[in-house]
A and B are shown apart, each in its own frame.
Chain A
Amino acid sequence: MNLVQHRRNGSNWIIRVGLALLLTLTAGLPAGSAEEAVSEIRIADGRGDWGQPNPYLHYPRGSGYVRMSWVFDTLVWKGEDGFQPALARSWVFDSEMQAFVFELQPEARWHDGEPVTAEDVAFTIELFREHPYYWIRLDDVSHAEVMDTHRVAIHLHRPYAPFIPDIGGTMPIMPAHIWREVEDPNTFTGPAAFIGSGPYRFVDFDPVQSSYLYEAFPDYYLGEPKAGRLVYLRAGQAIAALRNREVDLASIRPEMVEPLQRQGFEIVQDERGWNKKLMINHRKAPFDERAFRQALAHAIDRQAIIDRSQRGFGRPASFGLLSPDHDLYSPDTPDYAHDPERALELLRQLGYGPGPDGFLQKDGEPLEVELLVSNITAGGQTAADRDGEVIKAQLERLGIRTDLVNLEQGSTDTRIREWNFDLAVSGHGGIAGDARILNEMISSAHGAGSVNSARFDAHPELNRLLDAQLRAMDPEERRGIVAQIQHLHAEELPAIPLYYPDAFAAFNPDSGVRWFYTPGGIAKGIPIPQNKVSLFP
Chain B
Amino acid sequence: MGARFDPAAGLGRRLLADPWFVTGASLSLFLVLLVVLSPWLSPHDPHDMGYAAFAPPSADHWLGVNDGGMDIFAELLAGLRNTLAFGLVTASAGLAIGILVGLASAWFRGVVDQVLMRVADLLLAIPAVMILILLASFYRPSPWVLALVLASLAWPTSARLIRSQALGLRTRPHIAAARQMGGSSAYIIGRHMMPELFPLYLIAFASKVRMAVFMEASLSFLGLFDPTRKSLGRMISDALPFYYLDVWWHWLLPPIVLLTLLIMAFTFLAVSLERFFDPRLRAAWAD
Enumerate chain A interface residues (CB-CB to B < 8 A): 237, 239-240, 253, 255-256, 259, 307-309, 311-312, 373, 375, 383-384, 386, 388-390, 392-393, 404-408, 411
Inter-chain CA distance A375–B69, complex, in Å, is 19
| B228→A392 contact, CB < 8 A | yes
Q: Which residue of A255, A259, A373, A390 contacts B49 across the interface (Cβ within 8 Å)?
A: A390
Inter-chain CA distance A411–B47, complex, in Å, is 27
Chain B residues 120 to 145 lying within 8 A of chain A, measured CB to CB, are 137, 140
Question: Using Cβ atoms and an 8 Å threshold, which residues of chain A touch B226?
Answer: 404-406
| A386→B223 contact, CB < 8 A | no
| A384→B68 contact, CB < 8 A | no
User: A237 and B227 in contact (CB under 8 A), knowing A308-B68, A386-B67?
Assistant: no
Chain B residues 204 to 247 lying within 8 A of chain A, measured CB to CB, are 223-224, 226-228, 237-238, 241-245
Give, as a whole number of angstroms, the nearest-CB distance from B252 to chain A.
Answer: 13
Give, as a whole number of angstroms, the nearest-CB distance from B226 to chain A.
Answer: 6
| B245→A406 contact, CB < 8 A | no
Instruction: Verify if B53 is at the interface (C-beta below 8 Å from A).
Output: yes
Enumerate chain B interface residues (CB-CB to A < 8 A): 47, 49, 53-54, 67-69, 137, 140, 223-224, 226-228, 237-238, 241-245
Inter-chain CA distance A393–B227, complex, in Å, is 12
Question: Using Cβ atoms and an 8 Å threshold, which residues of chain A touch B224?
Answer: 406
A and B contact pairs by CB, cutoff 8 A, 13 listed: A237-B243, A239-B244, A255-B245, A308-B49, A373-B227, A384-B237, A384-B241, A389-B68, A404-B226, A404-B227, A404-B228, A406-B223, A406-B224
| B68→A309 contact, CB < 8 A | yes
The residue on B at minimum CB distance from A402 is B228
| B53→A384 contact, CB < 8 A | no
| A311→B244 contact, CB < 8 A | no
| B137→A389 contact, CB < 8 A | no
The residue on A at minimum CB distance from B49 is A308
Question: Using Cβ atoms and an 8 Å threshold, which residues of chain B touch A240?
Answer: 244
Inter-chain CA distance A405–B238, complex, in Å, is 16
| A406→B49 contact, CB < 8 A | no
Inter-chain CA distance A304–B114, complex, in Å, is 61
Question: Using Cβ atoms and an 8 Å threshold, which residues of chain B touch A307?
Answer: 53, 69
| A389→B241 contact, CB < 8 A | no
Question: Using Cβ atoms and an 8 Å threshold, which residues of chain A touch B137?
Answer: 407-408, 411
The residue on A at minimum CB distance from B66 is A386
| B67→A311 contact, CB < 8 A | yes
Inter-chain CA distance A383–B137, complex, in Å, is 19
Question: Using Cβ atoms and an 8 Å threshold, which residues of chain A touch B69?
Answer: 307-308
User: A388 and B227 in contact (CB under 8 A), knowing A255-B242, A256-B244?
Assistant: yes
| B53→A389 contact, CB < 8 A | no
The residue on B at minimum CB distance from A381 is B241
Give, as a whole number of angstroms, the nearest-CB distance from A130 to chain B.
Answer: 37
Question: Using Cβ atoms and an 8 Å threshold, which residues of chain B touch A312?
Answer: 53
The residue on A at minimum CB distance from B238 is A384
Inter-chain CA distance A510–B87, complex, in Å, is 52
| A253→B241 contact, CB < 8 A | yes
Inter-chain CA distance A237–B245, complex, in Å, is 13
Question: Using Cβ atoms and an 8 Å threshold, which residues of chain A touch B228?
Answer: 389, 392, 404
| A384→B223 contact, CB < 8 A | yes
| B241→A311 contact, CB < 8 A | no
Question: Using Cβ atoms and an 8 Å threshold, which residues of chain A touch B244?
Answer: 237, 239-240, 255-256, 259
Inter-chain CA distance A388–B238, complex, in Å, is 14
Q: Which residue of B49, B237, B243 contacts A389 across the interface (Cβ within 8 Å)?
A: B49
Inter-chain CA distance A301–B243, complex, in Å, is 29
Inter-chain CA distance A373–B228, complex, in Å, is 12
User: A405 and B241 in contact (CB under 8 A), knowing A309-B68, A389-B227, A389-B228?
Assistant: no
User: A386 and B241 in contact (CB under 8 A), knowing A393-B47, A404-B227, A406-B223?
Assistant: no
The residue on A at minimum CB distance from B229 is A404
Question: Using Cβ atoms and an 8 Å threshold, which residues of chain B touch A392?
Answer: 228
Question: Using Cβ atoms and an 8 Å threshold, which residues of chain A touch B223?
Answer: 375, 384, 406
Question: Using Cβ atoms and an 8 Å threshold, which residues of chain B touch A239?
Answer: 244
Question: Using Cβ atoms and an 8 Å threshold, which residues of chain A touch B245?
Answer: 255
Inter-chain CA distance A383–B223, complex, in Å, is 13
The residue on B at minimum CB distance from A259 is B244
The residue on B at minimum CB distance from A239 is B244
Inter-chain CA distance A411–B137, complex, in Å, is 9
Inter-chain CA distance A404–B226, complex, in Å, is 7
Inter-chain CA distance A404–B225, complex, in Å, is 10
Question: Using Cβ atoms and an 8 Å threshold, which residues of chain A touch B54?
Answer: 311
Inter-chain CA distance A256–B243, complex, in Å, is 11
Question: Using Cβ atoms and an 8 Å threshold, which residues of chain A touch B68?
Answer: 308-309, 386, 389-390
Question: Using Cβ atoms and an 8 Å threshold, which residues of chain B touch A255?
Answer: 242, 244-245
Inter-chain CA distance A308–B137, complex, in Å, is 27
Inter-chain CA distance A309–B67, complex, in Å, is 7
Inter-chain CA distance A220–B270, complex, in Å, is 68
Inter-chain CA distance A68–B50, complex, in Å, is 44
| A406→B53 contact, CB < 8 A | no
Question: Using Cβ atoms and an 8 Å threshold, which residues of chain A touch B243?
Answer: 237
The 8 A-B pairs at the shortest CB distance, nearest first, are namely A386-B68, A406-B227, A239-B244, A311-B53, A308-B49, A406-B223, A308-B69, A308-B68
Question: Using Cβ atoms and an 8 Å threshold, which residues of chain A touch B53?
Answer: 307-308, 311-312
Inter-chain CA distance A384–B236, complex, in Å, is 13
The residue on B at minimum CB distance from A382 is B241
Inter-chain CA distance A493–B43, complex, in Å, is 41
Question: Using Cβ atoms and an 8 Å threshold, which residues of chain A touch B140?
Answer: 405
Give, as a whole number of angstroms, the nearest-CB distance from A494 to chain B.
Answer: 26
Known pairs A237-B244, A311-B54, A405-B226 / 15 extra A-B pairs, C-beta < 8 Å: A239-B244, A255-B245, A259-B244, A307-B69, A308-B69, A309-B68, A311-B67, A384-B237, A386-B67, A390-B49, A390-B68, A393-B47, A405-B140, A406-B224, A406-B227
| B47→A383 contact, CB < 8 A | no
Question: Using Cβ atoms and an 8 Å threshold, which residues of chain B touch A311?
Answer: 53-54, 67
Question: Using Cβ atoms and an 8 Å threshold, which residues of chain B touch A386?
Answer: 49, 67-68
The residue on A at minimum CB distance from B243 is A237
Give, as a whole number of angstroms, the nearest-CB distance from B201 to chain A.
Answer: 36
Chain A CB within 10 Å, residue with most, of B67, B140, B228, B241: B241
| A383→B227 contact, CB < 8 A | no
Inter-chain CA distance A437–B215, complex, in Å, is 45
The residue on B at minimum CB distance from A253 is B241
Inter-chain CA distance A405–B225, complex, in Å, is 8
Chain B CB within 10 Å, residue with most, of A386, A392, A407, A408: A386
Inter-chain CA distance A372–B32, complex, in Å, is 35
Give, as a whole number of angstroms, the nearest-CB distance from A371 to chain B.
Answer: 10
Question: Using Cβ atoms and an 8 Å threshold, which residues of chain B touch A383?
Answer: 241
Question: Using Cβ atoms and an 8 Å threshold, which residues of chain A touch B238?
Answer: 384
Inter-chain CA distance A74–B69, complex, in Å, is 46
Give, as a whole number of angstroms, the nearest-CB distance from A499 to chain B.
Answer: 15
Inter-chain CA distance A309–B68, complex, in Å, is 6
Inter-chain CA distance A179–B107, complex, in Å, is 73
Question: Using Cβ atoms and an 8 Å threshold, which residues of chain B touch A259?
Answer: 244
| A393→B242 contact, CB < 8 A | no
Inter-chain CA distance A308–B50, complex, in Å, is 8
